[in-house]
Every structure is written in structure tokens, then in C-alpha cells.
Chain A
């Protein structure tokens, strides 16, 4: 079936079998391999993308269900001129090691900061509870998210 949606602001479409998950459509039909397959059952969060403003496990969402919706993936965070503050801070703090959890983690963090730009550590932990990381122990990730929030707050205040 034909699925049409907007990915990172661009109209995209593909003819996919109805049982195709959004994750599979992004990775195999649209060549956006940022979102990852880690468990395929919605536990690890490496497949996290934002659909209509909320973060979801794209391995659990059928592509057909995303028809007509807006999707944000990791590929849409930066622009030609600069990184997203989260990407900047993750790099500065050394928040990622193997990097596999990165796209999902950044998307979940973006979803948090878009709604709550000044989160407490508890709120960051809660927001990232659906994203597993096997390498880092999460500390630097949390620090980077809070630091990015400060930057985004300042940018907003200045704009």
C-alpha cells in the first residue's frame, strides 16, 4: 500500500506491504538509517522517532498508521549551518560511546526539551527511561541533556 508522509519536513512516499513497520519503511525504503533496530519489540528505544510531536517506538508503529503524518528523525535535527544544541552538547560531554543508542536517545531528549526546556534530573531520567544504553551508564547523557536545555532556554529567551 502507498504510504505518504512528511519526514523532517520533506514529503516522502513508498509502496510498502501493509505489515511494514515505520522503522522498516524509514530504514529500507527511505534510506534513513539513523533509527536503529535493537530489539524489535519496543523495549530498547533505538528506533525512537517523533510522530506528530510525540516520541514513539517506530518498530511498533505500522507505516500505514503514519500515513499523512509528520515524522522527525535524527537526520532532521541539524541543518546546513549548525548542529542541534543536543548534538553539540552530546559531543562536548562525550555522552556517546558506541553510538548505537544515540539517535533514539537524542530524539527522546529533543521531545523532552521541546515540551519542558528546564527539566530536573528526575524528569530527564523519566523521559529517557525508554532508551537503553549499554555503554555509558547514562551520567554524561543526562548532563548533556540538561546542558542543552540551558542553551535552548537562552536561545529562546534571546530570540
Chain B
């Protein structure tokens, strides 16, 4: 026993007498042979780490062993004693004022332990860029996936039945679904005010109007992409639980847990030191699990009921309530010469920004910068707008705006090649980035292998032979 007071230490050490252990010599542990869930206990081999250099060696994924055994614990695999199940009632209308919510019938049902509505959320707004999204919609619901009330009950089935007993009085409001319509002056305004545009970006390089006038051909086309849902195989799932110290713990499929904790601190009006967020292995994210969904709801239901509360999205919830990829409406005007050299590109991007901002800021930024394509173009104008619509919130999804614009600029390259009678590969080689090319934002690009890659790929799949 160590202490600063040497006298006390000496005295204590004198008092302690160590006796020889009389226990029998260590026996090896006998593993029962009738263990119903058996698996080998030797650790997976990590040979690569033993070798120097490890680069180039075959490595095993550290999670492979548990995945293969089915032992990986996803949130839905976790249960706690007395755990309740929550369900969320979603808005009946794509745009409506909530006049009243009556949860009394639901509360009377045996087994229903707590209900929650938007009015009860301490700070009912969150979001990675703008905090324009409510935890539970109140007083306005802005899309059919917007939650308006929640229940926690002793079983999922009971919770589902309890939702049917919640009476919500809505005053339907005019709604807007098409992003171009949302741009118009007299369109319904999803978040009030006099415009649905909530973020925009402009990238300007050179003089696009002048260069278009000087081009031998000008191509114009409008391209549209559709919504895409991530469909992670594991639905969103969370569990909330409070302890006697007034601290809430959440186990969640959320990817960005530090951001999530900030959001919880904000919405629950609690210091971060009282909030613990545990993210575990996730069954697929792809961008859709980058922000909180029901965590504050579960925290409050758990607080009210004094029991752990779990919610797992149904597959239907995944489609209407979790975030999706932004549909883009893209107008491309491109000026080229007879030899296929692009002189100017003017682009208007309209992002269908859904009902709330989510990760649109990143999407519009990335989409705008990549919109002209990997081509040397001296005169560029990109004007991008994200508009609110009364549809599912559009958020982060692998690519973040890149796939949409790629569809547009590559389709147009083919159009141009076809019209001018040029080889589609040739026109790309003629315009493509090289070492030290400037990006649309005038960044000098290095380690550019675009043309070499195209040429190699073309050779490998016999492009020239096919064209003949």
C-alpha cells in the first residue's frame, strides 16, 4: 500500500502478513462439452503484423471472425431488463399545421408506459448545418415521414396499436413536391418566408457568356436524377436508458457520435457530460446514419418511463423517414468547337432539398465543384440552389452530389460526340484533366492519371475493336 506518509506505510506493511496459499496447484479449465453455443477460442491469426514490411501482405479484417460466427452485436441484438419498445406516429399530410394532439386514449392502454409529442421537446431543433429540423414536428409537419408523436410500450405490437389511438387534428397546408415548382415565387413555402431556396453556391471562372458566343456549337439539355434510398440492411436502431445519476446512455446505429452528442445536448438541454453515446458495429451506413433520428425521442420516453426504450425502424420507415439522396435537376449548356474542345460550360443545378437541410450544405458544395466534370474548361459558371420541398429529408449518401452531376456531364459528352461524329473516347481524351490542370475552382491538380486510365481501360475491353 503506497502513501506519502512513510510512517503510516511502514506501520501498515508490518501489520500485513502474507500467508502461503493453501490452494491446490492450478488446474486447466475444463470446457463443458455440452455448451450449446460453441465456437473455437483461439484468436484469429494476424500474420501480416508479424512481418516487416506489412504492406503488400494479405490481411484479415478484424471483424471477420465475429461476423462469421454471427456474434457481432448490432443494436437490435441488445436487450435490457424491463426494456420498452417505441413507435413513432408520422404525419398524415405532407404539409400541415398540427392543431391538437390527444394521447390520452393511448396512455390508458395497459402496457403503454409513456407518450411524447413535439411540444414536450426542450429544444425542438437540430441539424448538421442549419438547425431547421424538429425532433418531433410541432407545430408544422413538413413531410409524411415527419414524426408527430411517439409511444413507448411493453411490446412492439402494443406500441403500434397505441399509435392508432393517438388523435391528431391537422390543418392541411398547400404542399410543393417538384423542385422547379419550389423555385417559383408563388409556390407554397415549406419553412415560411418568401423563398424555398435555403442554400446556394456560385462558381465562376473566366467569361462563360462570351465563350459561348464564340463556340461553334452550343449544346443544351436538362437532366434529372431520382431519389435513392441507402437501404442499409440493418435498419436504424437506438436504445436509451437513464441511470440514477441523471445520466442518459444511448446505444445507437448512428455513425457520427460526437455530433450526435452535441445534438442530444442541444435538444435535451443537458450538458454533454451527462450524455453518453455508444455507437457499435453498424449494419451498413452509406451516409444515411450520419445524424440523429429518434435518439432524443427515446431519451425522453426513457426519462418519463424510467425504463430503457428501444426503437428499430421498419423498412417502411427507412424509405419515408430516413434521409435519401438529393434528386438533382441539372441544366447544362456547353459550348464546343468542331474538334470537340469544350470552350465553356454553364450549369444550373437545382437540388431537391427535401423538408429539412440535413447534409445539403456538403452536397451542394461538392456537386457544384464537380459539376463541370474532369475536363479542362476555361470558362465555367455553376449556379446551384437547394430548395425545400414537402418530401423526405435529403441528406448524405455516398458521393454527396458527385453521382448526379456525373450522369449529366457524361451523358452530354456522349451527346456532343454523337452530334459531331467523334469517338466518345476521343472527345474525353481531348478534354480530360492532365497533370497540373486547374479544377473549376482553380485548384492545381496533381497525380492526375485520367487519360492513362481511360486509355488502359479502353484497351482492356477492346474499345477500338468494338467501334470498328
A102/B76 in contact, CB under 8 A: no
Q: Which residues of B contact A35 (CB under 8 A)?
A: 70
Interface assignment of B37: CB less than 8 Å from any CB of chain A: yes
Interface assignment of B61: CB less than 8 Å from any CB of chain A: yes
Interface assignment of B65: CB less than 8 Å from any CB of chain A: yes
Interface assignment of A113: CB less than 8 Å from any CB of chain B: no
B70/A34 in contact, CB under 8 A: yes
B68/A87 in contact, CB under 8 A: yes
Chain B, Cβ-Cβ closest to A39: B315
A36/B38 in contact, CB under 8 A: no
Chain B, Cβ-Cβ closest to A17: B157
B283/A8 in contact, CB under 8 A: no
A99/B283 in contact, CB under 8 A: yes
B283/A78 in contact, CB under 8 A: no
Q: Residue A78 contacts which of B31, B69, B312 (CB distance < 8 angstroms)?
A: B69
Known: A78-B38, A134-B284. A40 touches B66 (CB 8 A): no
Chain A, Cβ-Cβ closest to B73: A33
B37/A40 in contact, CB under 8 A: no
Interface assignment of A103: CB less than 8 Å from any CB of chain B: yes
Chain A residues with a Cβ closer than 8 Å to the other chain, count? 48
B65/A38 in contact, CB under 8 A: no
Q: Residue B64 contacts which of A10, A44, A86, A96 (CB distance < 8 angstroms)?
A: A96
Interface assignment of A15: CB less than 8 Å from any CB of chain B: no
B74/A96 in contact, CB under 8 A: no
**Would you give the shortest CB distance from A72 to chain B, in whole angstroms?**
12
Known: A73-B70, A94-B64. A82 touches B283 (CB 8 A): no
A100/B74 in contact, CB under 8 A: yes
Known: A133-B233, A134-B232. A80 touches B67 (CB 8 A): no
Q: Residue A37 contacts which of B37, B64, B312 (CB distance < 8 angstroms)?
A: B312
A28-70 Cβ-contact flags toward B at 8 Å (1 or 0): 1000111111111100101000000000000000000000000
Number of A-B contacts (CB under 8 A): 121
Q: Which residues of A contact B60 (CB under 8 A)?
A: 91-92, 94
A103/B70 in contact, CB under 8 A: yes
Chain A, Cβ-Cβ closest to B231: A134
Known: A94-B64, A134-B286. A80 touches B314 (CB 8 A): no
Known: A91-B64, A135-B284. A10 touches B70 (CB 8 A): no
**Would you give the shortest CB distance from A5 to chain B, in whole angstroms?**
13
Interface assignment of B5: CB less than 8 Å from any CB of chain A: no
Q: Which residues of A contact B461 (CB under 8 A)?
A: none
**Would you give the shortest CB distance from A11 to chain B, in whole angstroms?**
10
Where the two chains meet, the residues of A that have a C-beta atom closer than 8 Å to any C-beta of B are: 7-10, 27-28, 32-41, 44, 46, 73-75, 77-83, 86-88, 90-92, 94, 96-103, 106, 132-135
- 26 CB contacts below 8 A, A to B, read A10-B36, A27-B77, A34-B70, A36-B76, A36-B283, A37-B235, A38-B234, A46-B233, A75-B70, A77-B69, A79-B40, A80-B39, A80-B41, A83-B40, A83-B69, A86-B68, A88-B68, A90-B64, A94-B61, A96-B68, A98-B234, A99-B72, A100-B74, A100-B234, A133-B233, A135-B233
Where the two chains meet, the residues of B that have a C-beta atom closer than 8 Å to any C-beta of A are: 31, 33, 35-41, 44, 60-61, 63-74, 76-77, 79, 230-235, 281-286, 312, 314-315
Closest 7 CB pairs of A and B: A34-B70, A100-B283, A99-B67, A74-B70, A87-B68, A33-B77, A91-B64
Given contacts A36-B234, A91-B68, 17 further A-B contacts (CB under 8 A): A8-B37, A28-B79, A32-B37, A33-B73, A35-B70, A46-B233, A78-B69, A80-B33, A80-B41, A82-B40, A94-B60, A94-B61, A98-B282, A98-B285, A99-B72, A100-B232, A101-B233
